[in-house]
């Protein structure tokens, strides 16, 4: 099979992903072999490729927004049949026995495995998925439209819930990439006013098109105090203006798996009056199920830019430099629709 393999983390400008011909993996017990139709390109992939996240597996195939079809079933698998469309996400598997898993917080599992980080992911023609952690997907939408929902959508939804925004409230989004352009649709569906801060003009334009009540640069203060906010950009310095923009009792959710250093906080200016900062860690399967239900109900529309598998380095480079309008997707199977 063709795959884009990361041998050693390096700046994306050096094209560290190598196009390789590798053996097709064989599913073990509880696993399904997936013929990948498309794989979304996520900022977490960039953090893996550039080494901003600690190396978990030497030589890894990145990618965790996977849409594909079941090619073969491992021993004991019965949830899916060959040919069914499924989705694979960041959480490849949780242990199911630690205290966090037992209380329904599998995103905090003591020994999780993550797709495209601990196990090979979707930047390839085939990949393996844990049957119990795969999502059944309808055939009604194109694979490229679905892919961003499987991480950008799921994590954005979890961040939205962690922000404790109420229907009709004022929500701030700091950064407006693949995840935020999905979250704004959910927030507006809930009747929220959405305020967007982004340094990129193309992202500001998209935010206006998608109904933002206000759009400005990250250095600007929104015209109204915010009930809640989500920081999507991996820039720790933005924690300060995001907190300062919050009203009394407001909550800031940090959506990224990676964040640069947060500068010192001024207690009165940034935290006093019961303002709260909350991190977001991975997702549970229930987050994914809820997001996919919402996606059909609203319905959510994803804005995507497609690339060939061999263009994975370029897609990640453009993502790094904020040159993607919406979300990037690698088209892998010629049958993808």
Rounded CA-CA distance 226/241 in Å is 12
pLDDT for the residue numbered 219 = 77
Residue range(s) of every CATH 3.40.50.720 domain in the chain:
153-279
CA 275 to CA 259: how far, in whole Å? 20
> Given this model, what pLDDT does residue 3 score?
98
pLDDT of residue 62: 98
30 touches 321 (CB < 8 A): no
pLDDT given for residue 335 in this prediction: 58
Q: What is the pLDDT of residue 111?
A: 97
Instruction: Please name the residue that has the structure tokens 């498309």.
Output: 38
Which pLDDT score, from 0 to 100, does residue 218 have? 80
Q: Across the strands, what pairs with 251?
A: 228, 276
Regions in the chain scoring below 70 on pLDDT: 334-337
What are residue 17's DSSP bridge partners? 6
* Per-residue pLDDT, 124: 98
pLDDT tens for each residue of 157-187? 999 999 999 999 999 999 999 899 999 999 9
Q: Does domain 2-137+303-331 have CATH number 3.90.1150.60?
A: no
Residue span(s) of the chain under CATH 3.90.180.10 come to 2-137+303-331
Whole-prediction pTM value?
0.92
List, in sequence order, every residue forming a beta bridge with 3; answer none if it has no partner: 20, 124
Q: Which residue has the tokens 């993550």?
A: 114
Cα–Cα distance for residue pair 296/324, rounded to 1 Å: 25
Condensed to tens digits (0 to 9), the pLDDT of residues 182-202 reads 999 999 999 999 999 999 898
CATH 3.30.300.170 fits 153-279, yes or no: no
pLDDT at residue 334, as a whole number? 63
């Amino acid at each position: 099979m063709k795959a884009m393999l990361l041998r050693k983390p390096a700046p994306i400008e050096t094209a560290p992903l190598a196009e390789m011909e590798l053996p097709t993996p064989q599913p073990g017990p509880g696993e399904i072999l997936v013929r990948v139709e498309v794989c979304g390109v996520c900022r977490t992939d960039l953090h893996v490729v550039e080494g901003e996240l600690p190396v978990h597996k030497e030589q890894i195939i990145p990618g965790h927004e996977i849409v594909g079809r079941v090619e073969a079933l491992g021993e004991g698998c019965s949830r899916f049949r060959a040919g069914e469309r499924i989705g694979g996400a960041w959480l490849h598997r949780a242990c199911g026995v630690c205290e966090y898993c037992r209380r329904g917080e599998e995103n905090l599992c003591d020994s999780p495995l993550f797709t495209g980080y601990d196990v090979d992911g979707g930047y390839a023609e085939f990949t393996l998925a844990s049957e119990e952690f795969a999502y059944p997907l309808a055939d009604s939408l194109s694979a490229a439209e679905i892919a961003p929902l499987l991480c950008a959508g799921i994590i954005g939804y979890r961040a939205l819930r962690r922000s404790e925004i109420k229907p009709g409230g004022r929500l701030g989004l700091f950064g407006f990439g693949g995840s935020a352009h999905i979250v704004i649709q959910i927030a507006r569906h809930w009747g929220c006013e959405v305020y967007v801060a982004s340094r990129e003009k193309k992202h500001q334009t998209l935010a206006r098109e998608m109904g933002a009540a206000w759009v400005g640069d990250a250095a600007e203060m929104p015209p109204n105090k915010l009930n809640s906010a989500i920081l999507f950009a991996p820039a720790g310095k933005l924690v300060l203006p995001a907190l300062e923009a919050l009203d009394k009792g407001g909550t800031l959710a940090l959506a990224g798996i990676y964040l640069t250093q947060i500068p010192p906080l001024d207690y009165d200016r940034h935290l006093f009056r019961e303002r709260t900062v909350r991190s977001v860690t991975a997702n549970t399967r229930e987050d994914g199920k809820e997001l996919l239900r919402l996606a059909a109900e609203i319905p959510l529309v994803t804005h995507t830019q497609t690339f060939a598998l061999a263009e994975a380095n370029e897609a990640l480079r453009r993502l790094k430099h904020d040159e993607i309008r919406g979300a990037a997707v690698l088209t892998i199977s010629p049958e993808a629709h």
